[in-house]
Every structure is written in structure tokens, then in C-alpha cells.
Structure 1
Amino acid sequence: MPSTLTALGLSVPVLAAPMAGGPSTPGLVVAAAEAGGLGLLAGGYKSADALAGQIAEVRAADVPFGVNVFAPNPVPIDDTAYRRYAELLQPEADRYGLDLSAVARTEDDDHWQDKIDLLLGDPVPLVSFTFGVPDPAVLRALRAAGTFVAQTVTSREEARRAAEAGVDALVVQCSAAGGHSGTLTPERVPPAVPIAELLREIGQVTGLPLIAAGGLATAEAVAGALHAGAAAVSVGTVLLRADESGASDPHKAALADPARDRTVVTRAFSGRPARALRNAFTDRYHDLAPLGYPAVHHLTSPLRRAAAAAGDAERLNLWAGAGHRHATAEPAARILSRLTADL
């Protein structure tokens, strides 16, 4: 591993990926560090104050850690398309007494500046960015504060752009990854390029350390990514059923359900491509969902919360990568130790 990553305190080259919406708890981040790796808090969909509280909780454990932030890269949606989708979804919302016409079209930046101010005022060891590449001045300020900065990329072109902006490392995410694609061009779903091939392509255009992500749920897959040129790997879906995961009960149960054997890349839940277990919602709305992030995310959020509370996996965003069958219900440290068994 490059000295820059080693300096973060890793003794094994495995990161617990940031999973926004609840799964990446402080407990999961601490468990990853105690297993010799490093975990990232998910800053997405949180206020700066809520993120600060989680940072304080992890700091109390005195372990290395990181924070992921969604960088602004909006995909606006016009009001007509937004209202049309809300009307299509209303029968689903009726199950829970929700009125989606009351959900205002929201084109926010996820408290971007507040989070940057927090991370500059109270620096953390690692910050990674997803969805957009921050202004180089932001990256310079974070690095000057002593923070190691990484950027999620899904192609050679994105890697060039991030490297030119001044990041320290690249999180190379292939299409097998669960949850949202980190693509900088969400109107186009990234092609299904194997992680080893993507690492080689990106390694040809930059000498930055590469952190492999996407479908890495076995010791063999982890070893293969490292052999293909990754300095470390980032794993997410395989930790969703871990004891420390904050994923909802219906999400965890769906991952263990042998009948759910397919994942799909869909924008039905958020208006941006994301890989999830196929369910009734994806079947009905995959071809009808408009492009529009974060507005569509905010539109479906109350429905998804209600579905989770009711244990209704058919109307829940069951984020899952291609290796979801390997997710197990046990302590995160045991999962991570198994993933590094072949190193």
C-alpha cells in the first residue's frame, strides 16, 4: 500500500464503504478500524450537525476513519415531469396515507457548504467525494488541513478530471457496486466493465493510488482487485447485514431471501442510477422514472420511510451490489477478516 494510505492507520487494505441512509453507523466505522481497516461515515442526507455528532462518536473510539460527502452535481427536473411521476406513484403512497402532491420539488445541495466548513474546522483523516468533483480550492484547503482526499470515479475520463483537480487517491467504482453509481454523468449508466479491467484502464492515465469498489464480497475478489493494481478495496454490500449495520430489517431480510436473486440499475427511487435488488417498485417504475436528482429522491423518501417502518420490501430501495449473496449476519470484524484471508 502507498505510504499515504498506510499513514491513515490501515494494517489491512480494506475500507468499509460509506452507505448513506442509515447503514454506515459509527459502530460499523469503529468495527472496521478495529479489524485493521478503515470505515467511512456517510455524510449524504445528513445535516452538518448530525454529521458532527457521528464524527464525535467515532473520535471517542480513537480510531482512523473517514467521511464521504456528496459533491454538488445536480440533475434538475422540470416541474411537469416531476408532477407526472408523483401522480404515477400516488397509488403506492395511498397504502400509507401519504400525499405526494404535497412534497415540494426540492433541488438542494445536501448542506454542501456547511459540511465543508465542518470538515475544515474539525479535520478528519480522510474525506471522499461522490457524484461531483469539488472545486480545486476546496481540495487544496482540505489537504492543507491534513486531510487525505479521495474521489469516486467510474471511468478513465472521470479519473483524469479528478486527478487534475488535485485529489490524493481515486475510488474506482465499477458497475457491480450496490447503491448509487458515483458517475459524474448520471444521464448515462456506466458500462459493465469488470473491476480489474477498469483498474488497468485508469492506472494507464494516473499514478494516484486506486481504491477498488464494486462487487468485492469474497476473499478471492478482494485479492484479485489488489492483484489488478488497487492499493486497497472498499466494500459495502457485504457489510449490510453485519451486526453493526444500520440497514433496515426488511432490507437485511431481503438480502438473505433466496428468491431475490437479481439486481437492477434503476433511477426509480432517486432519479439517479443505483443498483438494487429487484422488487415490485423497480418492476413497475424502472422504465417510467425520470432523470432528476435530488428532486426524485426527496419525492420518494416519505414512501420509502413508510415502507421500511411497515416491513414492506416491495416499495423499499433495497440497495445491493452484485455480490449481495455473500452478505452475512455476523460481526463486521469477522466479515472483514474473512475478506482478507487470502492476502
Structure 2
Amino acid sequence: MSAPNTPFATLTGVRHPLIQAPMAGGATTPELVAAVCNAGALGSFAAATLSPAAMREGVARVRALTDRPFNVNLFILENPDPSDEEVARAQARLDPLRAELGLPPGSRPARFCEDNRAQIETLLELAPPLVSFTFGLLDATTVARFHAAGCRVIGTATTVAEALAWQAVGADLICAQGSEAGGHRGTFLGDPQQSCLGLLALLPQVVAAVNIPVIAAGGIMDGRGIAAALLLGAQAAQLGTAFLCCPESGIPSIWKEAILAARDDSTRLTRAFSGRLARGIANDFMRRLAAAEDEVPAYPVQNALTGDIRQAAVRQGRSEYLSLWAGQAAGMARTLPAGELVRTLMEEMAACRP
């Protein structure tokens, strides 16, 4: 079922009120993005952890696989410069885990993240039909530059204040992220712990506060959830975890297995892996660092420091050391090909309508 006359459809050129969420770290392969787009929804390519060269390569691959509109996502970050002492303390907490994986003690990385300004300039050069941003707020001048390049801008908000801030700088759409969502919280104003509103509470308040289209995100796994989001005033729903077990997804098999085995109480919010609040399936790593969560360096520093541990976990098939990002309804995931999943979701949504 499509909604061709909504502002969302007009702004995006997309037939279905459905977005596949951008999920950094390799989950959203060009093949996944294109399959979603070719089925009439909006696929999103996550570029937040990519170099400009890798961004160009990934976007070129998406364009080779689809002629439909697609989205590219970036984080908004400052380049960090933690002290050697802070890095050493953080590594000392992680070294016992490294030893269990047969890794050497950690040292200071050459860098902690890609240069965000260079990523933004590359995205302006690539000019995909839609661009979305998480973890922060662009200034109005940069939003205007994206508009001049022909891009529609989506800003992620976890509170009404954040939604209003994005509207004020000229965003075209707001993605309202409920606390049920898997992966990193997008909070950039105030205390992240105090910004954990569930989607059912957040969505109608954001819809009432802004005059641009709102996208609902967080814990939606089937067509019933999409229909409910539209009933609450969203013009589209963004699903992430629902697409992680598709064959086109780039996550390792141990992560997919954990999602499919998840229960309703399997996930929790943690700072342990990355230094930023994120929802994932609880495991040994989370539990062992729980007491030190308030002491770990902020994102992206902790994320960089745990990178070797997470990579070794994948190589060795040890999910207890891997960040298993997933939303609260992860156990509802299906192993359908992405295009078939889009069609199934739309059929389920249509069945909910009178």
C-alpha cells in the first residue's frame, strides 16, 4: 500500500511510507539499500564510519544498483583529542578482555574517527536525493548548501526540543527516535538518560510541535507498527532491526543469530562499547563493564578503543564480546530478502486499515 499524496511522498519521491534505517558499521550494504529502494521504500546507506573514498565507492555502488531515491546518513561529531592518561585508563579496563581473545594490550589509536567536515563536504559533492544526520545539529548555512545541491535533509530527534532545533535550521523532515530503537541514541540536547522517551509518547508530541513531516523510529518490526505510527501522525516509519536479518544485510552471522533468539527483555541501553548510549542485546561485555559505564570516554573515543575487541569477536565467533545492536522487538525479525520484506510489511500495514 502506498501513500502517493503525502508531503513525505512528495519530498522523497518514494512510494511507500517506509524507510530502512541507516546502521553504521557495514550493516547497510549497497545491496540492501538498493533492494529496499527497488521495492518502493527508501533505503539508507550509513556512511558515518567511512572515509571519503569509501563513501564515494559505496554511493556509486548504490547508484549502479538502483535508479530510485535513496538516503545517505552521517553522524555529526567533533574530532576528539583525549589525553594520554584518559586513553590509558580506558585501555586498562579493556585489556583483560583482550587477553581472553588473545589480543595484545591496547595502545592509543592514530585517530578516533573519520574527519567529519571532510565527510560532510564529500556528501555535498555526492548529492544523494536525501541526507540524514544523527548525534547533532547542522547549522542553517550547511543545510542550505545541501538544499542547493538538490538534497532533502532529515534530522534525527529524541525530544521535542531537538525536533524544533532541526526545524529551525531548515530540515525538511524529522526522524523521531523512540527509546525502543536499536543502536545509538541520537540525543544531542540535554542528558541522554533523561531523553529516553518511548515512541508512543514522543511521536505525537513531535508531530504537534513541528510543521514538517515526521518519521517514526524505534521498535517497529511489522506492518501493524507502521500503521500505528501513521495513526499517531507520522508520515512514514523507519525500521532498522527488522532489516538486519535479511540476506543482503552486512552483519555477521553471530549477530543475526542473537537477534533471532532475542526475547522481549533481551536488550538494554549501554555506554560500554562506544561511549554513547546505545541499545543492544545484553552480553558479557556489557555486564562486565557496567560498573565503569560512567567512566568510559565519550564517543567516538571508546568506540575506537573497543574496535579490535569487536573485530576479534567476529573472527572468533564470540558474540559475548560483540556490540549486538538491536531494538526492543528484535525477536520479531524475519530472514526474508529485503524486497520481499518491504512487500510483506506493506501488506501487513494495509490489512490494519479499515
* TM-score interval, smaller chain: over 0.9
Q: Distance in 1 between matches of 2:158 and 2:206?
A: 9
Correspondence for 2:301 among 285, 295, 305: 295
Superposition pairs of residues 51-90 of structure 1, within 5 angstroms: 51-60=55-64, 61-72=66-77, 78-90=83-95
Whether the aligned pair in 1 keeps the contact of 2:226 and 2:237 (CA below 8 Å) is: yes
Q: Which runs of 5+ in 2 are unaligned?
A: none
Whether the 8 Å contact between 1:133 and 1:151 is mirrored in structure 2 is yes
CA distance in 1 between counterparts of 2:326 and 2:130 reads 25
Provide closer, same or farther for how the CA distance between residues 267 and 139 of structure 1 changes in structure 2, counting only shifts above 3 A. Answer: same
Contact 1:73–1:132 (CA<8 Å) still a contact in 2? Answer: no
Work out whether residues 195 and 214 of structure 1, in 8 Å CA contact, stay in contact via their aligned partners in 2.
yes
Cα distance in structure 2, aligned partners of 1:258 and 1:68? 27
- Contact 2:267–2:282 at 8 Å: present in 1 too? yes
Letter of the aligned partner of 1:188 in structure 2?
Answer: P
2:230 counterpart (223, 226, 229): 226
Q: Distance in 2 between matches of 1:304 and 1:293?
A: 15
Bigger mean CA deviation after superposition, 92-101 or 281-290: 92-101
2:331 equivalent to 1:331: no
Deviation at 1:285, TM superposition (A): 0.6
Q: What is the aligned partner in structure 2 of residue 119 from structure 1?
A: 123
Out of 336, 341, 349, which is 1:342 matched to? Answer: 349
Matched residue type, 1:158: E
Change (3 A) 1:107 1:50: closer
CA displacement 1:5-41 (0-9 Å, x = unmatched): 3343311100000000011000110111122101110
- 220, 225, 238: which is aligned to 1:216? 220
Percent of aligned pairs with the same amino acid:
35
For 2:73 and 2:151, how far apart are their aligned partners in 1?
12
> Within 5 A, what are the aligned runs for 1:1-343?
2-3=6-7, 5-60=9-64, 61-72=66-77, 78-104=83-109, 106-108=111-113, 110-185=114-189, 187-258=191-262, 261-289=265-293, 290-340=296-346, 341-343=348-350
Output the amino acid matched with 1:72.
Answer: L
Give the partner amino acid of 1:217: M
CA deviation digits over 1:158-197, x for unaligned, max 9?
1111111111110100100000001114852254433132
Gaps of 5+ in 1: none
Between Structure 1 and Structure 2, the one with more helix by share is 2
Aligned residues: 342
Amino acid of the residue matched to residue 180 of structure 1?
H
- Cα 1:278–1:260 change in 2 (3 A) is farther
The Cα RMSD (Å) is: 2.0
1:276 Cα deviation after fit: 0.4
8 Å CA contact 1:152, 1:173 repeated in 2: yes
Superposition TM-score, scaled by structure 1 size: 0.94
Q: Is the 8 A contact 1:79 1:105 kept in 2?
A: no
C-alpha distance 111-76 of structure 1, shift in aligned 2 (>3 A): closer
Counterparts of 2:195 and 2:187, CA distance in 1:
11
Task: Tell me: CA distance 1:132–1:258, structure 2 relative to 1, closer, same or farther (3 Å).
Answer: closer
Kept in 2, the 8 Å contact 1:75–1:292? The answer is no
For 1:102, what is the secondary structure of its paired residue?
coil
Q: CA deviation at 1:137?
A: 1.0
